[in-house]
Amino acid sequence: MDIEGTYTLQAAPEEVWNSLMDFQTLRQTISGLERLEALGNNTFAFTLHIKHAPLRGTYTGQVQVDDLHYPSSFRMTVDGESQQSNIQGVWDIHLTPHDQNTVISYQGVLNLGKLSGLIPAPLLKGTLKVLIQQFFTSLAEQLRTTSRVYLSSTEENNGLVVENIAHNGQSVDVGGKPTPLHTLVHTLKLGDSDPLLEEQWVSRLRRFGTISILLLLVWVGTRIPRRLFSQD
């Protein structure tokens, strides 16, 4: 059974690629994914529970990712089984930049074993289309809310490397000589050792410190006249 289609994501190909290769992202975006474990050589063990009929059931098996060409294409091979049937599939996935978006196109073949002979192909394809749509919709939301794009605009500033990073559309410069706030944030692990998140925490603390000083000055300014008046 041929399975193909396209989907457009509002993110750069590099960001989409990183999300597709990230365990945490896949666990959050693949509905029913109960297990994903690296076995080595770009091979991963999975357990997937599908709630949609006629594919309802728990599937276990392996996924192999090969022929990788960052960040434009890769091949995915699936070999698994359930109580209902065995499954085998091979897809070629391409990531194509379009304006500031990425068009994902996938084309391949899926063999559902016994199910292929018992269930009409249009019904199987319709169910698979729903599952794929759910994945891409969830991935799009994940990219929208937690996207991290590490731009290639790296420059040297007085011998120190500074990386420009965009997070949810905001640009942040990280690098250079760490400040005491950087050390504090890193020690407290406020950013989970992520340079971008640590820089954001530093910015928050700086803003908080500025606001605190302003409030203190306002408070002092309101107290001084009262004391002078009380002395008179």
Based on the domain organization, do 25 and 108 belong to the same domain?
A: yes
Q: How far apart are the first and last CA of the chain?
A: 93
Same domain, 87 and 11: yes
Within this chain, do residues 140 and 157 fall inside the same structural domain, yes or no? Answer: no
Report the pLDDT value the prediction gives residue 209, as an integer from 0 to 100.
Answer: 66
Query: Same domain for 55 and 112?
Result: yes
The total of other beta-carbon atoms located within 10 Å of residue 228's CB is 9
Kindly state whether residues 58 and 80 are assigned to the same domain.
yes
Same domain, 58 and 160: no
Closest to 11 measured CA to CA, from 23, 25, 24: 25
Q: What is the pLDDT along the chain (232 residues), one digit of tens a residue?
A: 899 999 999 999 999 999 999 988 999 999 999 999 999 889 999 999 999 888 999 999 999 999 999 999 999 999 999 988 899 999 999 999 998 899 999 999 999 988 888 888 888 889 999 999 999 999 999 888 765 443 333 333 333 333 444 443 344 444 444 567 667 766 776 665 555 556 666 666 676 666 566 566 656 566 655 554 555 5
In this prediction, residue 178 carries a pLDDT of 57
Q: What is the pTM of this model?
A: 0.62
Q: Which domain holds residue 81?
A: 2-146
Using the 3D structure, point to which of 124, 146, 168 is the last residue of a domain. 146
Residues 80, 159 share a domain: no
H-type alpha helices, the chain: 13-20, 23-29, 114-118, 121-146, 180-188, 195-231
Q: Which of 110, 129, 146 is the last residue of a domain?
A: 146
